[in-house]
Each structure stands twice: as structure tokens, then as C-alpha cells.
Chains A and B, each alone.
Chain A
């Protein structure tokens, strides 16, 4: 467990000073400052004052005792050995998986024609740039890397020096003609010029970055549009397709977690292009679309997920939330009710149902006449302020639904903005 000890005494913070008197059992017992004990432990471990294995152990034990609760429990957790029942469970699970894998044939697909592969790079459009060629120096001096930016500057300097050198120190005639003011002016001008070049270069760099980003985005879109007839897809066995779809789903989830919704949406779309039988992917894409405020898409995906698996509670919940966002309160009440039928103990669903029901009454009460019209114009959103409800059971992290009066507002960006905050972190 050497590593753990290192973790215990490690850390990059500045250490307190340790004197030789402190390297002592009694001192350690009395000391209650974890920072100091950590410093002592580290000093002992460094071996500068000799080698005392028992004292090191004692210092570590003391440090553990004095650390704040959170840190201590973390270290204890890491030190903990797995429980026998945990081991048993993990291993029996693994055996189940082994059997499952054993059923996968040695060759998942017997394929006779293999013309199905991607073209060799050299033979496609990028041929000229990607053809066999030797790139000369990849081996650049390590020092150069950091200095590249300053190259322009130093070049300017070099010119300067060269010109001055042309004036021989003993060439008095030349010196007579030498006009210091003019020279300074020239230097300043050069400096300005250089500054301008630099700014231009930077602007250019920025534009390139932007162009590149655009190019990538369009490229991905194009590829997705082709996903239906994509060459890679056509050539995969159903087994491989499922696997690739699963991979795209995982990628989507990862992007979703870091709020890269555009990318997550693409990944889910790709996953669905490969295999559209998984209601969870539809539900995840719905969550993503909800975040992107593409409510139409979100509702449609929920509906697809539900049609694939009518007992899929999360899809009902999601559609309820989406419909709520769109102001379709009656629909959202129906969806939450359905979710509750599937799981009568879901506190979360209950809460959401109450909110939607209250909202529906409110809207009906205050603007009963408009209600019907609203339903015919689903694009409208009438929610202004939102509150965040924290869900206790931890499974659904957070869900935001409006609690205040239903102000009927046109769908300006500002108005819809607040609806979806940082909740919804539940893709699967």
C-alpha cells in the first residue's frame, strides 16, 4: 500500500517547517495540526533524517486521525479491501459474461467479399497531400517550440543590428551624416509595422480556427446526412452495427455530460442510423434536444421511445417535461400520470404531476379561452421564471419546472432561456 501512503502525505501545498524535535512519537501524539503532521511525515519519508519505518507508520496513522472527515473517509475508502460478497458478486457476474461471450462465434460474420472497406487514403481526394512522402524535419530542437511566437520580433531585431553594423565606427564621415532622430523614427516605424503584422497574424489565426471549426461542423453534418447510405454502415454485419451503435451512444453520453449538446446530438443520431431499436437512445436524444430547446424534436423522440417500449417510464417522464416546456400542460399531465401508473412510488413523477396540474388549472383559469388556441400553436412557450427542484433520491439529479404564474409570452430567446437549467443529467 505504499502508494496510498504517498497519497496521504502528498500534495503540492507549501509545507510547514519541521524541526528535528518534531520527529518524535510524543510530539506527534500531541500535535493536532494535520498540515504539520503531513510535513513531518513527508520529512520522515524523505529519509533526510534517517530511516524510521515505525515512526513513519505512526505519523501516517496520526495524520489519518487528524484529517478532516471528508478526506479521512476518502482515504479509508481507498484503503478498504473489497468485501467477500462484493468479490463473489463481481466474479459470478463475470462468469455470466464469459458464457455470453463464448456464444459469440469466433468470427462474428462470415464474409466472402471484402470490397467493403474504406478507400485507401492515397486513392481518394486527398491523394496529393496524403501520398507517400517524407516529411523532413520532425526532429526539431526542443527549445524552438517555445520561441516560435517571438520569431517575428527577433527578426526585426536582426535587421536593425545589420544596418547599424554597416556603419563603421571609424567612418567619421558617415557618422557626420548620421541623424539620430531620423534613426529613432525609423525604428519606431519598424516597431509599429511589426506590431501591425503581429495583430494581422493573430486575426488570421483566429479566422483560420473559426473556418476550421465551420468546416468540421459541415463535414459532420454531411456525413450524418449520408448516414443512411454510409459505406461503413452498409458493410457492417448486424452484430457490428449494434456494437458501433452502442459505441456512439456512449460517446453521446460523454458529450452530454460535459454539455456538448451539438456533438451529443450527432452521436445519438449516428447511433440511431446504425440501430434504431434502442428506446434509450431515443430518450437520450430527446434529453439532448430538450437542452438545445428543440422541443419538436424532443417530443418526437420521446414518442418514438414510448412506441418502442410503452413501459419505459423515463420516456414518459421526459415527454411530460418537454410538453410542460412547450406549454402543453394537459399533455404533460397525461404523461406524468402514465409514468406514475408504471411506478406508483415515484415521488419525482408525483411532484412533477402536481406542478403540471397546477399549471394547467392556472392557465385554464386565467386564460381558458386562449388555451385551445395555444394547443394549435405548439411553438409558443409561456414560462418565464423557473425554480429548481432538487430530487432527493439522487437518481434524477435535478429537474427544473416552473412554479410561478404562467405568463404568456412570445417565444423570444430570453423568455425560454430559463427553463432548462443544469438538471437533466440523466442519460443512459
Chain B
């Protein structure tokens, strides 16, 4: 690594919008991104902007019945690029951004708000069927194949128990057509890893604070690393390669942002770099350094994981309000869009990432 250069974060575009943004995603293979959120009168907002010489050009706008909390292109082919949205009423809907009519597919997925959605099998993954996973306030996690109307897998709280609010979900480990895992994070700090191939709960832990975000460094390789962001200004990085029967996965814990760490996103072009966004309106860029050996043997010769280190490469505070969404462009290294609760969307350029 060249030590004379730190990556720079430059603001390219700063735009105020008239609704509260909840999620931003790049449209794969384009210079456009979508912003979804909720209007003050509780209607859903979905707009598509295109980068145009330092300005944002509005190319598509749509209002939906209920505020949109989360969205993903993950399960749609490059040919379609349909956006799956989870809304405040628990509806999961897939919209064709090229057409202005009703949703291409929809299902009443949860009893109340869908907090998170993730998709797989689309343009960024080579293996397996297209699938969406949703996590809701009702404590349920459901997996959907957008070609049928019923969930293919359901994870529900035991009857009679208080349902914990599921805040975040993510797919991972999809490195063959059959292998696939999902993780879910809950408001009480539970993190669960469910293996969709074997239909078993593979691992559970509690990180002591509400889990705001989960991000695998890549979802289409053998599970490698998982970043878990939490309330109370902490995040954890797990090495997901080696699971010890008792100790589970090795992890490190790091402080950041002095308030809630809202999210972490790995760079699509380099899985060892990731950005975290915080409640203090700042974002931090980290690099993960692997340890010299990723496994060691315990007393009884059972391999257990060894975690590496994270290094802060740069950091900026850009708003007085939390950064609630962030997305790296899959097509251009260092280009990212993000939204803050001060009702702005911004486009940043992070330079020199190729050097790390």
C-alpha cells in the first residue's frame, strides 16, 4: 500500500428534497440512482435521479400508498432492473421503473412496517434463484421468490413470546446454486444466521446493542466477513470463514461516530474496504487487514477463526443529522450516493480507493 495518499472524500452534488429519504440505491449499470422515502402526508416517495454534469436530473417520479422504508435491486436481472420496495404498511412491491403503472408484483409481507429488504440472484450474483428477504417490526423474517406469491421460508417468533423488532436482514454465502444464508439483526441485539440450504439456524449471538445494519463483504462468495453495526457507537467485524462449535465466529469490536452507527457498506470493487454511516452525520472509511493466519487450533485441535484489524482511512462529518442510507456505485469505483435525515441526498466521490 502506498502510504503517501489517503483517500479523499469530495462532495459532488448536494440536493434538498421534499420528503424524508430512507434508502438510496444505484440503478445497476447506469449513472442513475433511486431515492425512496416518505412524504410528510405519509405517502410513499420514489424518485430516480440521473447524474448530469454536476446536476441531478429527475428521470422518474412515483408516489405510492404508503411510505417506503427500504428498497433493493438485488433480485432483479440486469435486463429488468426492477426495484423491490418494502413499505410502512408491510407491503413488499416490485416496480418497473421504465413504466408508470402499478407494481409488477406485490405481496402483503408483514403485519406492519418492513424495516429491511435484501435481494440476491440479480445482476450482481451469479448463482441461485432470485430471492428477496424482508424483516419487519412484527419480528418475522420472510424469504420471497418474486415468481410466486407466498413466502418460501418464514422465520417467526415463538407463539406467545414478545416479538423483537427485526431491523435488518442480509443474504450471504451464495457461492453455489444451493448454498445460501441469511442473517437478521434485532432491536435487542440478537444476530441470527440461518442456513437456507440445510434449513437450520447455524449461529446465534447477541451483540448487546440493537442491530441497525448487517453487511457481508460479498454475498456471492463463501462467507468471508460480516460487519454488524449497532446503537451506542459500536460496530463489529466477524470473520465468517471458520465457525468453532463453541466460540462461534471470531470478531473485533470498534467504536465509531459517537452515536448510532446506522449502516456499513462494503465497496463492490474491493471487499476489504467499507464505509460506515453514523448518527453524528459522519461517514468513516475503513480497511480490514487480515491476520497472518486466519485460523488457529484450540486445545483439542479444532480450528477456530482469528480476526484481523480495521484501519480508519478517512472520515468526514457532513451533516448535523444521521446518515441513513448509503450506496456505492457498482459500476464506478468510489462513486457513492447517500441520504441524511436533514432531507438531503448527496453524491460523493471517494478517490484513490484503487491504491488500497
List the interface of chain A (C-beta within 8 A of B): 1-4, 6-7, 10, 74, 77-78, 80-82, 86-87, 90-91, 94-95, 97-98, 101-102, 104, 106-109, 111, 117-122, 126, 129-140, 142, 144-145, 148-149, 199, 201-202, 205-206, 209, 216, 219-220, 223, 232, 237, 239-240, 243-244, 247-248, 250-251, 254-255, 257-258, 263, 270, 394
Contacts and interface: CB of A to CB of B under 8 A. Distances in A.
Contacts of A216: 175-176, 179, 222
A3 B53 contact: no
Contacts of A247: 124, 126
Interface of B: 2-6, 8, 10, 12, 29-31, 51-54, 77-81, 98, 121, 123-124, 126-131, 139, 141, 145, 147-148, 150-158, 161, 163-164, 175-179, 184, 188-190, 192, 194, 196-199, 201, 204-206, 218, 220-222, 243, 245-246, 248, 255, 257-258, 268-272, 280, 282, 284, 290, 300-303, 312-317, 331-332, 335, 349, 351
Contact of B78 (A10, A109, A119, A263): A109
Contacts of B8: 80-82, 86
A202 B302 contact: yes
Interface centre among A86, A102, A121, A258 (most CB of B within 10 A): A121
A209 to B, nearest CB: 8
A74 B6 contact: yes
A202 B10 contact: no
Given A87-B10, A130-B196, A135-B154, A1 B317 contact: yes
B171 to A, nearest CB: 13
A405 B78 CA distance: 57
16 contacts: A2-B258, A3-B284, A3-B316, A10-B255, A74-B6, A86-B351, A101-B31, A117-B77, A118-B121, A121-B145, A126-B178, A135-B155, A145-B248, A148-B246, A202-B245, A243-B123
B12 A94 contact: yes
A3 B280 contact: yes
B337 to A, nearest CB: 13
Contact of B204 (A7, A145, A250): A145
A87 to B, nearest CB: 6
A135 B199 contact: yes
> Can you list the 7 inter-chain pairs with the closest CB atoms, starting with the nearest?
A142-B206, A149-B246, A77-B6, A137-B158, A82-B8, A101-B31, A3-B315
Contacts of A94: 12, 51, 332, 335, 349
Contact of A97 (B31, B184, B245, B317): B31
B152 A121 contact: yes
B332 A97 contact: yes
A239 B40 CA distance: 41
Nearest to B176: A219
A138 B143 CA distance: 14
A106 B54 contact: no
B99 to A, nearest CB: 11
Given A142-B188, A223-B176, A223-B177, A134 B206 contact: no
B153 A135 contact: yes
A126 B220 CA distance: 19
B160 to A, nearest CB: 11
Interface centre among A97, A130, A270 (most CB of B within 10 A): A130
Given A243-B29, A243-B78, A258 B290 contact: yes
Nearest to B97: A106
B156 A134 contact: yes
Contacts of B255: 10
Contact of B351 (A3, A90, A104, A250): A90
Contacts of B272: 254, 257
Given A101-B31, A118-B177, A132 B139 contact: no
A222 to B, nearest CB: 9
Contacts of B10: 82, 86-87, 90
Contacts of B141: 138
Contact of B199 (A107, A129, A202): A129
A211 B144 CA distance: 30
Contact of B79 (A111, A232, A244): A111
Given A126-B178, A138-B201, A251 B218 contact: yes
Contacts of A97: 31, 332
A122 B150 CA distance: 11
Given A3-B282, A94-B51, 11 more contacts: A107-B98, A109-B79, A120-B152, A121-B128, A121-B129, A122-B148, A136-B156, A220-B175, A220-B176, A232-B127, A263-B221
Contacts of B257: 3
Given A3-B315, A7-B312, A90-B349, A98 B152 contact: no
Contacts of A80: 6, 8
A3 B280 CA distance: 9
A243 B245 CA distance: 39
Contacts of B218: 251, 254
A97 B78 CA distance: 19
B177 A6 contact: no
B156 A108 contact: no
B274 to A, nearest CB: 13
A82 B314 CA distance: 12
Contacts of B54: 91, 95
B271 A254 contact: yes
B147 to A, nearest CB: 6
A237 B130 contact: no
A91 B52 CA distance: 11
A94 B51 CA distance: 9
Nearest to A77: B6
B106 to A, nearest CB: 18
B203 to A, nearest CB: 8
A175 B176 CA distance: 64
A140 B180 CA distance: 22
Nearest to A83: B8
A213 B102 CA distance: 46
B232 to A, nearest CB: 15
B78 A138 contact: no
B49 to A, nearest CB: 12
Contact of B98 (A106, A118, A145, A240): A106
Contacts of B148: 120, 122
B282 A104 contact: no
B70 to A, nearest CB: 20
Contacts of A149: 245-246
